Amino acid sequence: MRVSPLKGARERRVRTGEVELCVAELGDPRRPTVILVHGYPDSKEVWSEVAERLAGHFGLHVVLYDVRGHGRSTAPRPLRGGFTLEKLTDDFLAVADAVSPDAPVHLVGHDWGSVQAWEFVTVRRTEGRIASFTSLSGPSLDHFGHWINSRLARPTPRRVGQLLGQGARSWYVYLLHTPVLPELAWRGPLGRRWPKILQRVEKVPAGDYPTRSLPRDAAHGAWLYRDNVRARLRRPRPDARAHAPVQLITPVNDAFLSERLYDDLEQWVPRLVRRTLPAQHWVPRTRPDRLADWIADFVTADGAGRPSPAATGPYADRFAGQLVLVTGAGSGIGRATALAFARAGARVVAVDRDAGAAARTAGLARPLGAREAWAETADVGDERAMEKLAERVAAEYGVVDVLVNNAGIGLSGSFFDHTTEDWRKVLDVNLWGVIHGCRLFGRQMAERGQGGHIVNTASAAAYQPSRALPAYSTSKAAVLMLSECLRAELAGQGIGVTAVCPGFVDTGITSTARFAGADAAEEERRRKRAARLYGLRGYPPEKVADAILRAVVRDAAVVPVTPEARLLHAMSRFTPRALRRLARVRPPL
């Protein structure tokens, strides 16, 4: 056994038929074995960062091998007929027998690695050798064939649109079936430019990937398509059911594969867990952290193929394992939002200036399904405190995937009763708190280059003027415009920005709101009256939290939440004069 170019890996040669496969291993062979299968036009090094995390952080036995004709493995002679799914299955079984002769292995495949792994997990001769399968960006050719046939048999407009859409995404498949041309392109200009194309289009970080063998790998790999695609799509196997639990991870921005390809997957996979990831095709390079977390979670799943955390939320497939930070999480909308993300299996950082309240939210999040939950204390209006928070979160938990700038305070009264200090306090929390969060955590998202989402809690007061809320409405209007500007700037980096605009929500903000120009007794009376009115309205913060998760999934720009917020938003667009008249009404406080 020799040292592999992969950091700390042990390398061996495994013979299968007429070829020798280059196999690399990391971690303790006594631990569960995970075999990672690469796609086209890659070699095993596409998995290097995922493999190091699985072996190092999770302590698993990780195996990577170069598919025949790729990387440091030898190629069959002749090439034609040497890449059939049957021969690729022989290769997999040879590797599995060499690295884990006495126990089934956990299988992970990306792109063509996933296509061939679907074969492994659905043929009878591998039954009992595979404990689980995680599929990334590569469908079963049999399932794909049945998917096409079902839409041709019942050609509704929606189904025809799905066929045409996937047909357009598969443009490269047609080219790879042409003789000689793909080989010339890969050994010529395309092979030289491919690393830059991946960096520019897919946002793949520069580094030691792709390897020097890329032109040869891509030229040989064209036979994966030629030997298998047309034959299987024309005559898909009728019994291609998975005999092991399957985790399907779908990058929602995959340029080559439609999400609709997997609509009918439950009929082929009795034990299926679905995940979605806001990423493009080459997720092993762009999101190795998230993949390693999900793979390790699935490897340690129970016998039914369910992840060990009890994530039950409606968006568990989207947010499970993601890092979500919520400010103002000690109560109200902030707490409800943190707990909603927890139910979806996210890792939650609950931030509040009240340390006890933040700790209580984190404590409530853990049993709901959060992979992990932490409490952090910070005053969002304090620039230095927020800088320290951002540094600490990045160092201890990682780069945030979803940021919810929710912290806010209320202030009511006449403009002339507002002091300069009143304005400063409201703007420090409601506006500067959002600015600090977006600047610090948003910059980390942008520098990571793997997308993300920012949610800023504005208010219906952002577009509804009021004689009683000059400072509060001004701060929320600024948050709304900031969100729109930032959304435009970050769109090209895959980072969404949403402004959430609730109306009257029954939260604790009324108990801490200030009333300018009122003495202590009058201020307390107004607080109690406001709390009573909001209570009678009875709109719970949990509904706002649900709207926030839905907005992130849909990448919505502006989200009025309550019925009155939606009405006022429509009036601001179509009948602004009526809103101005409404602003003159004295509030009942």
**Catalytic residue numbers?**
472
Candidates 251, 302, 246, 239; CA nearest to 276 is: 251
Question: What helix, strand, coil percent values describe the chain, rounded to 5?
Answer: 50, 15, 35
Instruction: Tell me the angle at which helices 112-122 and 214-234 cross, rounded to the nearest 10 degrees.
Output: 50
The three-class DSSP label of residue 482 is helix
Residues 6+ apart with CB under 8 A from 400: 323, 324, 325, 349, 393, 441, 444, 445, 452
C-alpha closest to that of 295 among 275, 265, 311? 275
Helix or strand holding residue 274 (H, E): strand 272-277
Residue 560 near residue 442 (C-beta atoms within 8 A): no
| Angle, alpha carbons 247-58-367 (nearest 5°) | 70
- Burial of 49-59, coded b for 16+ CB within 10 Å and e otherwise, reads bbbbbbbeebe
CB neighbour class for 410 (10 Å; exposed up to 12, middle 13-18, buried from 19) = buried
Whether the CB-CB separation of 332 and 507 falls below 8 Å is answered with yes
Query: Any idea what DSSP says for residue 462?
Result: G
Contact 490, 443 (CB under 8 A): no
Q: What's the CA gap between 479 and 462, in Å, rounded?
A: 8
Contacts of residue 584, defined as CB under 8 A and 6 or more positions apart, other chains included, come to 467
Question: Whose CA is closest to 7, among 23, 26, 21, 22?
Answer: 26
289, 108, 285, 113: which is closest to 202 by C-alpha? 285
At position 552, the amino acid (one-letter code) is V
In this structure, how many other beta carbons lie within 10 angstroms of the beta carbon of residue 443?
A: 11
Give Cβ neighbours of residue 234 (< 8 Å, ≥ 6 apart).
145
Q: Give the residues across from 106 on adjacent strands.
A: 34, 132
Indicate the helix (H) or strand (E) that contains 509.
Answer: helix 509-512
| Distance from the Cα of residue 229 to its chain's centroid | 30
Identity at 259, one-letter amino acid code: E
Are 510 and 544 in contact, with CB atoms under 8 Å apart? no
Q: Which residues neighbour 411 within 8 Å (Cβ) at sequence distance 6 or greater?
A: 418, 422, 425, 426, 469, 471, 472, 513, 514, 515, 516
Distances (CA, A) of 510 to 351, 523, 533: 20, 11, 10
Calpha distance 220→82 (Å, rounded): 10
User: What SS3 state is found at 107?
Assistant: strand
Residue 428 DSSP code:
I
Length of the chain equals: 589
